[in-house]
Structure 1
């Protein structure tokens, strides 16, 4: 299993609306892509900005490529991100993931 982690930041005044975007339209494409196993949104409010992470789990790199394209290490953005995100980070993180069960 592969975990894909994207990070973005907004001004505090945009945090609530951007969270709603991520919980609905902003993660819809993840959920519709074959090979996606899960989608989580993390949020952390700091005094000067709000951090967001989308943390998605995939069956393999080929599944991620169906979502992100051949250059799957590159972040994917949407028109709604324009004017809301404080910057557009170029890359995302991919980690091999393991489930521990007793």
Structure 2
């Protein structure tokens, strides 16, 4: 299993808007992609913004390519997401999952 990890920052209302975008637009697309195994959206409030971390789980790099395209290191950040974020990574990292406990 491969974890695909991406970071962003937002205002508190922007973080809420991003979460809505993820659940209504991104998640349905992920679920349609073969090899998608799950997703987490994490948030961490700081004094002046909210940090977001998105972790999606995949069966293989072929599965990731079906979602992200050939350049798997490039983040997929749609205009609706960009509009509510203060900043976001343009790249992602991939990690082999060594232990996963449901």
Fold shared per TM-score above 0.5:
yes
- Matched residue, 2:21: 21
- Matched residue, 2:60: 60
Q: Write the mapping of 1:1-102 to structure 2, written as runs, cut at 5 A.
A: 1-99=1-99
Structure 1 stretches of 4+ with a deviation exceeding 3 A read none
1:100: Cα distance to partner?
5.6
Calculate the aligned-residue CA RMSD, in Å: 1.7
Whole-Å Cα distance in 2 between the matches of residues 28 and 43 of structure 1? 21
CA deviation digits over 1:31-67, x for unaligned, max 9?
2110001111111111211111111111111110000
Unaligned 5+ residue runs, structure 1?
none
Unaligned 5+ residue runs, structure 2?
none
Contact kept? 2:15, 2:84, Cα under 8 Å:
no
Contact kept? 2:44, 2:51, Cα under 8 Å:
yes
